[in-house]
Amino acid sequence: MQIQNTAGDTDMVQKYVGNAGANGGPFRGQPTGGFMQPPVLCDGMPVGTMYFEFGAYTGNLGGMNGDSGGMVIRGGFKFNNNKKLNPGHSLRWLQAYRETGGNNTTTIDGNPLYPNHSLAGYDSLFFDAPGDVFTNANTPDSIVFEAALVCFDNANPMALHALGSFLWGYSIDKVNKTITGEYALIFTPPLGGLLTTTFTNEFGPMGTRGMGWTLDSNCADCFMMIPEPNVLILVGQGLALVLIGRRNGRRTQC
């Protein structure tokens, strides 16, 4: 099964398990009978939607040695037709994860912004495919991720403004060499809390990232409205009438 996350990067796995169905199939999550596509709000106004597909896998993903497994997740954010970023602003992703068992690691991926990926149909794509070798003594029993979509002013990229977040994760059955219980739960408002306290605290003064980075939900400066086509037509007609009036005024004066 091929999984393409960018135009020039295709990974190979042996099979999907769990939500995606054994022995292949699309990796789309349907925990409530439909695709996860909740609205993303800024100051109570919808600016776009999130949409993700996911599935557990087993196989030698990314050249790992030995029987391994994990979860593939791909999706992201798409603007509504009447919204776009204000000039000089950008969208990126943050992600943290917590392991139970193994090394019991809790940390934030990236520096802390997650790598950029691109895919048609998304204005900000998120892609990840973690995996562990089943026989590795440090492989955890389960792992949970929290990913957050943020915007920032390019002139001040360390001040991050969260728009929405989601949790995703799975358990690792090391004895039977498979992945179980994979899930993804989107927390974009008004469907739930915006960010977990643990995640937010990482960017506070005492957090591991509290060295100039800040994280809040003040997104008001990030977006602008795209005028409706009929509004642009009316504006154009108004300007044309003004110009005609000016030309006629000049003739009268002559």
Exposed e or buried b per residue across 34-56, where buried means at least 16 C-beta atoms within 10 angstroms of its C-beta: eebebbbbbeeeebbbbbbbbbb
Task: Give the torsion sign (CA, 225, 230, 234, 239).
Answer: positive
Q: What percent of the chain has pLDDT over 70?
A: 69
What distance in Å separates the CA atoms of residue 134 and residue 132, rounded to the nearest whole number? 6
The end-to-end CA distance of the chain, in Å, is 78
DSSP one-letter code for 120: T
Quickly list DSSP for 64-82.
-SSSEEEEEEEEEEEE-TT
Whole-prediction pTM value? Answer: 0.78
Task: Give the torsion sign (CA, 24, 28, 30, 34).
Answer: negative
- The predicted-structure confidence for 16-72, as pLDDT tens digits, reads as follows 555 444 434 445 554 443 456 677 888 888 899 888 878 888 876 655 666 888 888
